[in-house]
């Protein structure tokens, strides 16, 4: 059976880091809709121009645009054995589109993992995040420093604080998450696939739990 993991959690809950680690272990592609959109903005593509103001302002990109982004990404060959979604769905309408897309392929969400963190932890994590505007690599001034302070290890570009990682925008993103994404928890609980875990726990512990959740649900 195809394994489809949905990672739910506030901005800064660690979804991207967990998705990358679980992806390595399960050999499934991690799909970060935020990264797809940021890359589109960096390249100046028509999609990038359409979504730039939303992404940089910490607002949700409209569902119709996201539906195009998701459908075209899931059609790529590497998604055939399954995938790990990080940052999608963000609204109930998006969850319904995902359900319908998977049902059309005779499959369904294996597990929706809600990663729970406090607002204080998010402010600390995202406030310390530095990103490479050229290649998208992510660092943290507290926990994941680049070899040369202020510069990307991979391409040497000067690191920046993402516009949406400024404190006011972080607060806005947390409010958006609380308001629009809470119904998703109820949606996946209703479908019997919701799992919750403490995103403040040590990284290896969280990764092992998520892998177990994928396997446990898959086997049942």
143 phi and psi angles, rounded to 5 deg:
-115, -20
**Residue (184 or 193) nearer to ligand AMP, CB:** 184
- Name the segment binding ligand AMP (CB under 6 A); options: 2-10, 84-92, 140-148, 206-214: 84-92
Q: Quick one: tokens of 178?
A: 């609380």
Closest CB 65 distance from ligand AMP, rounded Å: 8
Closest CB 143 distance from ligand AMP, rounded Å: 18
Among 39, 42, 54, 108, the residue binding ligand AMP under the rule CB under 6 A is: 54
Q: Quick one: tokens of 141?
A: 């001034």
**Residue (11 or 29) nearer to ligand AMP, CB:** 11
- Name the segment binding ligand AMP (CB under 6 A); options: 58-66, 104-112, 122-130, 131-139: 58-66
E strand or H helix that includes residue 95: helix 92-104
Q: Write out the catalytic residue numbers.
A: 15, 90, 129, 162, 173
Instruction: Label residue 21 exposed, middle or buried (CB < 10 Å: 0-12, 13-18, 19+).
Output: buried
CA neighbours closer than 13 Å in the CB half-sphere of residue 21: 15
Among 14, 29, 58, 82, the residue binding ligand AMP under the rule CB under 6 A is: 58
Instruction: Label residue 116 exposed, middle or buried (CB < 10 Å: 0-12, 13-18, 19+).
Output: middle
E strand or H helix that includes residue 8: strand 3-9
Secondary structure letter of residue 151 according to DSSP: B
| Angle between helix 92-104 and helix 63-74 axes, rounded to 10 deg | 30
Instruction: Label residue 139 exposed, middle or buried (CB < 10 Å: 0-12, 13-18, 19+).
Output: buried
Among 47, 66, 209, 210, the residue binding ligand AMP under the rule CB under 6 A is: 66
Among 9, 11, 14, 199, the residue binding ligand AMP under the rule CB under 6 A is: 11
Among 9, 87, 146, 199, the residue binding ligand AMP under the rule CB under 6 A is: 87
Among 10, 61, 98, 113, the residue binding ligand AMP under the rule CB under 6 A is: 61
- If one asks whether residue 29 binds ligand AMP (CB under 6 A), the answer comes out as no
Window 105-144: residues binding ligand AMP (CB under 6 A): none
Per CB under 6 A, residues contacting ligand AMP are 11, 33-34, 37, 54-55, 58-61, 66, 87-88, 90, 94, 164, 173
């Amino acid at each position: 059976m195809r394994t489809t993991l949905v990672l739910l959690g506030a901005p800064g809950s660690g979804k991207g880091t967990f998705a990358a680690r679980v992806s390595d272990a399960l050999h499934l592609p991690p799909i970060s809709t935020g990264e797809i959109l940021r890359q589109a903005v960096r390249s100046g593509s028509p999609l990038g121009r359409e979504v730039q103001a939303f992404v940089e302002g910490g607002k949700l990109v409209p569902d119709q645009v996201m539906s195009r982004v998701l459908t075209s990404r899931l059609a790529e060959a590497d998604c055939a054995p399954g995938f790990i979604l990080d940052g999608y769905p963000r609204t109930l309408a998006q969850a319904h589109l995902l359900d319908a897309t998977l049902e059309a392929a005779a499959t369904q969400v294996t597990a929706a993992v809600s990663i729970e963190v406090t607002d204080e932890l998010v402010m600390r994590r995202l406030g310390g995040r530095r990103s490479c505007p050229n290649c998208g690599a992510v660092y943290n001034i507290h926990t994941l420093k680049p070899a040369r302070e202020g510069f990307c290890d991979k391409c040497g570009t000067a690191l920046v604080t993402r516009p949406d990682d400024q404190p006011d925008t972080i607060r806005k993103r947390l409010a958006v998450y609380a308001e629009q994404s809470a119904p998703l928890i109820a949606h996946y609980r209703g479908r019997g696939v919701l799992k919750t875990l403490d995103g403040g726990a040590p990284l290896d512990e969280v990764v092992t739990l998520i892998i177990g959740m994928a396997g446990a649900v898959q086997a049942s």
